[in-house]
Amino acid sequence: MFDNLSDKLDKALHVLKGHGSITEVNVAETLKEVRRALIDADVNFKIAKDFTNRVKEKALGQNVLTTLQPGQLMVKIVKDELTELMGGDASGVNLSGNPSVILMSGLQGSGKTTFSGKLANFLKTKKTKKPLLVACDVYRPAAIDQLHVVGDAIKVDVFSDRGNQDPVAIAEAGIAFAKANGHNVVIVDTAGRLAVDTEMMDEIANIHKAIQPQETLFVVDSMTGQDAVNTAKAFNDILNFDGVILTKLDGDTRGGAAISIKSVVDKPIKFIGTGEKMEAIDVFYPSRMADRILGMGDVVSLVERAQEQFDEEEARKLQKKIAKNQFGFDDFLKQIQQVKKMGNMKDLMGMIPGAGKMLKGVDIDDDAFKHIEAIIHSMTPAERTNPSVINSSRKKRIGKGSGTSVQQVNQLLKQFNQMSKMMKMMQGGGGRKMMQAMSRMQK
């Protein structure tokens, strides 16, 4: 996500490192590179110029604190301005109605139908709502089928009327169905087009007028860059939508749409799509995104994802097992499953400060755990519970069964033993002992 922009901004801000003070000369040199990086990321030239002018004004207007170096101060100013440019604060979704009606709009191929499912799943699991998906795309082949497949996957009801070609009537009937069946949120998936045209705009404007939604969201493919911003403006002029959803941020995204869209349409980015899975949806936090663009990671989001997978009762059971030295491969497998539920590995690594730069060019496979899982699944229940019984003949059998080598099995057993010892040391006052042991190792 934004790898190229992050690299170029890092190089631009590196200019100030080593300077004892901020001057017009070194600020001008730095901001020239910052502006170039933003334009390369497909940010509108005027927005990039206004941004660097504001940064220059603030940088030259501040005295550098004794605890800060000029480079650090410039990073802080750029981060604050990026945050403001992308919206400042996070914006929630309006769920005031009964039912709350959310109208989805956007071009064809932007990921509107898939994101409708993600949003329904988000509202169901995080906001304890009972959503209903309404299929109003009567033009695209299999659009209704796609929404039903998505609904089945997340166990959310879908309303459709295959014999009806009037999207307005389908939307109204869907809301009536929701009221009759206790659904408190209705998400209306509308038809997209290959380009902005009068017929499409009239149709969605009629749906909007008929159902009076509490929230109108514009879904945009972030990989289309500046074109996405222009499309958003055209839609906003007709619909006056409430917020933007950026999809495909896990792809080869230059970042121009995320940075520019708020200043062009003056509407907040509310959600982002970060993968293909139904759970790959995040509330958009401008300050956290600014941190990630500047290579500072996003520890808060990482902790939040971990907390979502955290089960207090399971944690207590695990603690007892570790204390009794009963931590086995079944428990290890559960931990792996929890990590996988947090999202794709590359996205998670990008949230760790500095990790993005360290792992530049490294291809992190989403199936990074598959060999470990295969080895564990090839063990007998007794071997998983008590790994100490695994001798050389058992290792050969496990290696054959998992399609791996004896060396890989040995490596996993060694890492598992080291991790078990470390977890045991962390129990009670063991953290202090571990620090003392590490201190001795360094001497």
Distance CA 111, CA 307 (A): 28
Contact 272, 250 (CB under 8 A): no
Name the burial class of residue 295, with classes exposed (0-12), middle (13-18) and buried (19+) by CB atoms within 10 angstroms of its CB: buried
What burial letters (b/e) apply to 394-413, b meaning 16+ CB within 10 Å? bbebbbeebebeeebbeebb
Is 254 annotated in some ligand binding site? no
Is 165 annotated in some ligand binding site? no
Is 247 annotated in some ligand binding site? yes
Is 248 annotated in some ligand binding site? yes
Is 225 annotated in some ligand binding site? no
CA 40 → CA 33, 34, 289, distances in Å? 10, 10, 18
Start-to-end Cα distance in the chain: 40
Distance CA 407, CA 392 (A): 11
- What are residue 134's phi and psi, to 5 degrees? -120, 125
Is 249 annotated in some ligand binding site? yes
Query: What element of type H or E holds 67?
Result: none
Is 107 annotated in some ligand binding site? yes
User: Would you tell me how many other CB atoms lie within 10 Å of the CB of residue 276?
Assistant: 13
Is 292 annotated in some ligand binding site? no
Is 255 annotated in some ligand binding site? no
Distance CA 105, CA 239 (A): 9
The distance of Cα 267 from the centroid of its chain, to the nearest Å, equals: 20
Is 192 annotated in some ligand binding site? yes
Is 341 annotated in some ligand binding site? no
Is 132 annotated in some ligand binding site? no
Name the burial class of residue 339, with classes exposed (0-12), middle (13-18) and buried (19+) by CB atoms within 10 angstroms of its CB: middle
Is 117 annotated in some ligand binding site? no
Query: What element of type H or E holds 434?
Result: helix 430-442
Query: What element of type H or E holds 38?
Result: helix 24-40
Annotated binding site for GTP: 106-113, 189-193, 247-250
Q: Which residues are annotated as a binding site?
A: 106-113, 189-193, 247-250
